[in-house]
Structure 1
Amino acid sequence: MTVSLHAPSGPVAPAERALGPDLARGFMLLFIALANSHYFLSAPVVLGGYPQDGSALDSAVTWLIATFVDGRAFPMFGLLFGYGVAQIVRRQAERKPSAVRLLLWRRAAVLVVVGLLDALLFFVGDILAMYGVLLFVGAWLVRVRDRWLLTIALGFMVLVSMPSPDSMSISPNGPDASMLPPDVITMIVERVPMALFVAGLGPFGFMCPFLIGLWAGRRRILEQPERHRTLLRVTAVAGIGIAVLGAQPVSLMLAGVVAPPDQSTLDLLGPLHDSSGVLGGFGYAAVLALIAARLGARRGPVVDAIAATGQRSMTCYLMQSPVWALIFTPFLLDLSGPLGVTSMALLATATWVLTVVAADQMRRAGRRGPFEQLVRRVTYGRTGPSGRRLPA
């Protein structure tokens, strides 16, 4: 049996991948490590995931993370996730819409299963299951016209901007038993409802960047930055500028520079921090695409290593979770109390560096990440090096 010349395309070979999206995904994982890990810290007074009894250096680090990372990393993740879905849909253009939806649903199912397992066993704040649920819904939108796509995205942007007391940026609560379980039984019991809650409701907050990512992916904006320099420059300057300014009321409060206002004002400031962060995520993706265009073929070993991390972003993301479990879980090392904001940031950075090293080793050995292999096997079935399905 021979392979049809019109067989559906499978995953893209590493040599054919554009630098921009991979560089953005690889660098983004540093911000995700910084954003996730500080929520484990415990102290008598915690605000927005930050202990309020730290040193002057801790206050400075808190300001930096709250301004440039919190609420900014995950929108970039959502944008890149939507962008990747658009790439998949483009490669499956010869298939019927129902067949493409089925392919995306298979991919979503893997994300949900792996994400829920990670949430139960290692890190209850895992977002893979949430993105799986998002893809189950988003698979119906991949062929929606641009005008409606952008209109729906704007609607969800308005939703996350509405006054609310539920923003994680201003939460006065420290880690609970689902984050820091005293024993294995409590861990499972507390994490099941929390993991389902995050997976079920989280997509509402990330639908906007996902849809913008679909729109950008249709135009290959991150893959062909030289053709979209003006748009990328405007997005970088405006997005990051608005994100920095929009973060200041919350960032200065978390750093202890200004006192917390009354609750009604906090209900406005939290969503302001979050919604401006969505634009910041877009800005970061634009900056990294412009950097990729500037680099061209002049890649050094560091750029290759970070791009390799982006190519294996699911594996490298999941590699962070056992670190948080080992370091912070009360029946393991139990360092949520002794560690401060600065030491936590150093730990998060070191964890990211280790994943970059591991990804680069896989690149040199010519291996995909194990979870990327799993997703591709379930999504596309058994494929050859060219991405064409092999005969049975």
Structure 2
Amino acid sequence: MSQEALKKAARGAVAQHERSVAPDLARGLMLLLICIAHVPLYISNSAQFRTLNHPSGGDLLDNIIQFATIMIVDLRSYPMFAVLFGYGLAMIVTRQLAAGTSQQTTRKLIRRRCLYLILFGAVHALIVFSFDILTVYGLVGLLFGSLLFSPRRKLLRVIGWLSLIMVSLLLTQAWLLSGGAGVPMLDYSTIATSYGGAIEKRLFEYPFWVVYSLIAMPLIIPVLLGFWAGSQRLLEDPHQHRNLLKKISTIGITVSLLGALPLALTLFGFWPKSSYLITLHAISGLFGGIGYIALFGLISAKISAAGNRGKIVQALVATGKRSLTSYLLHSLILALLLSSWGLGLGKQLHSFEIFFMAILTWLILVFISVFLERKGQQGPAEVLLRKLIYRKSY
């Protein structure tokens, strides 16, 4: 092969020895947060949502679980996922260019990855769970992927302007919704009584969710922040960026908790729920997602310094390596257990019980990931995606 051909050819997917601990560690725990965030959608024993997707009714334990979820999980797991997605794209670009791949080929590789993510997301949404996030991230990658090849100064300018636009849109949304007396329970596909009826509802929910996520949820910004973090190699070299990671984690998590507290306190009747409190919760959630990522960077630095990964860390990393498979599988498990067209446990359980269903689902994902890790096998979704993107055998 000629030198010119070598420069144009894309290198394969990242090898196991090239993977960093921090991103996989974060993905492994992130999946727990996603499980916890999604289970309330399957609770169908209440006629009205009290706060976000949490139902009214229940006892003190249900209130405690809802309080903790609002403070730590709700609208925090998606931004965390988004930062990791953006970071992953930045790492692909860095490794491809370092291997001599042409920029044009690398751009095509990024576009192909995003297109296949959209396809995976569409299949996932129509078959199992319409509130899919893969499609949203794939579209963000297509729309803003060129910034991966732009100077960091330009990337930061775009983040700044889009942040102003995002805050404006969220405040406008809060103003438009401020006259509402309550939030009625939506007719979700997750509580449809038949699988056919669920598919019919998902055909309408899925496109609405995608558009809503792009316009009215703070998801584009964390993806772009992931671009920036990847260009800085914050998680690849956490030792060199320890001070910065400490600042990001401290500020991000503090702002997240303070921003979530007013909405969480509405559970105990401190003041009435307001659309502006939900907006504050959403904006502060962006800080939380970023803060969580920085915290995992610091943890990975300590793990690397210790030179010995415990079994828990190994299990989380194994799960993070198979995050796509685990993400798709968690939807299937929750749907079969909780949906009305499945076993229908969502009709019988409240927040406290269903919280443990989320943990159980996550533990199943961890168990499967550890089993595959010991067998030296990747997740089937990861294998398929890499074959489609790189068009090689893995």
Same fold, judged at TM 0.5 (above): yes
The 1-side partners of 2:323 and 2:53 are apart by 25
- State the aligned residue count: 377
The corresponding residue for 2:189 is 178
Is contact 2:340–2:347 with CA below 8 Å preserved after alignment?
no
Residues 10-56 of structure 1: CA distance to partner in whole angstroms, max 9, x if unpaired? 21111221101110111111111111111222303312111121110
Q: Which stretch shifts more, 114-123 or 77-86?
A: 114-123
The corresponding residue for 2:316 is 306
The 2-side partners of 1:348 and 1:182 are apart by 21
The corresponding residue for 2:303 is 295
Give 1 or 2: higher helix fraction.
2
Is contact 1:45–1:52 with CA below 8 Å preserved after alignment?
yes
- Please state how far the C-alpha of 1:278 moved relative to its aligned partner: 0.5
Letter in 2 for 1:286: A
Tell me which of 133, 142, 149 is aligned to 1:136: 142
Residues 115-141 of structure 1: CA distance to partner in whole angstroms, max 9, x if unpaired? 111111111111111111111112222
| Gap change, CA 1:157 and 1:40, over 3 Å in 2 | farther
The corresponding residue for 1:251 is 264
- Please state how far the C-alpha of 1:383 moved relative to its aligned partner: 5.2
The 1-side partners of 2:106 and 2:184 are apart by 42
Q: Is 1:107 aligned to residue 125 of structure 2?
A: no
Is contact 1:123–1:324 with CA below 8 Å preserved after alignment?
no
The 2-side partners of 1:177 and 1:276 are apart by 26
Q: Which stretch shifts more, 88-97 or 310-319?
A: 88-97
- Please state how far the C-alpha of 1:240 moved relative to its aligned partner: 0.3
Is contact 2:10–2:390 with CA below 8 Å preserved after alignment?
no
Instruction: Report the TM-score, using the length of structure 2 for normalisation.
Output: 0.90
- Please state how far the C-alpha of 1:160 moved relative to its aligned partner: 3.5
Q: Is 1:236 aligned to residue 236 of structure 2?
A: no
Residues 56-76 of structure 1: CA distance to partner in whole angstroms, max 9, x if unpaired? 011111110000110111101
- Please state how far the C-alpha of 1:371 moved relative to its aligned partner: 0.6
Is contact 1:20–1:288 with CA below 8 Å preserved after alignment?
yes
The 2-side partners of 1:314 and 1:247 are apart by 28
Is contact 1:178–1:187 with CA below 8 Å preserved after alignment?
yes
Is contact 1:133–1:199 with CA below 8 Å preserved after alignment?
no
Q: Is 1:281 aligned to residue 289 of structure 2?
A: yes
Tell me which of 230, 240, 260 is aligned to 1:227: 240
Q: 3-state SS of the aligned residue for 1:173?
A: coil
Is contact 2:190–2:335 with CA below 8 Å preserved after alignment?
no
The 1-side partners of 2:69 and 2:165 are apart by 24
Counterparts in 2 of 1:1-392, with a 5 A limit?
Answer: 6=7, 7-42=9-44, 43-47=46-50, 48-93=52-97, 94-161=100-167, 162-163=170-171, 164-165=173-174, 172-204=183-215, 205-253=218-266, 255-261=267-273, 266-296=274-304, 297-382=307-392
The 1-side partners of 2:62 and 2:13 are apart by 44
Residues 332-379 of structure 1: CA distance to partner in whole angstroms, max 9, x if unpaired? 212222111111111101111110111111111111111111111111
The 2-side partners of 1:144 and 1:220 are apart by 16
Residues 289-322 of structure 1: CA distance to partner in whole angstroms, max 9, x if unpaired? 1111101121011111100111110001111011
Identity across matched positions, percent: 34
Letter in 1 for 2:294: A
- Please state how far the C-alpha of 1:175 moved relative to its aligned partner: 4.5
Residues 232-278 of structure 1: CA distance to partner in whole angstroms, max 9, x if unpaired? 0001111000000000111111x2342424xxxx2321111011110
Letter in 1 for 2:223: F
The 2-side partners of 1:228 and 1:208 are apart by 21
Q: 3-state SS of the aligned residue for 2:206?
A: helix
Structure 1 stretches of 4+ moved >4 Å: 1-7
The 1-side partners of 2:182 and 2:230 are apart by 34
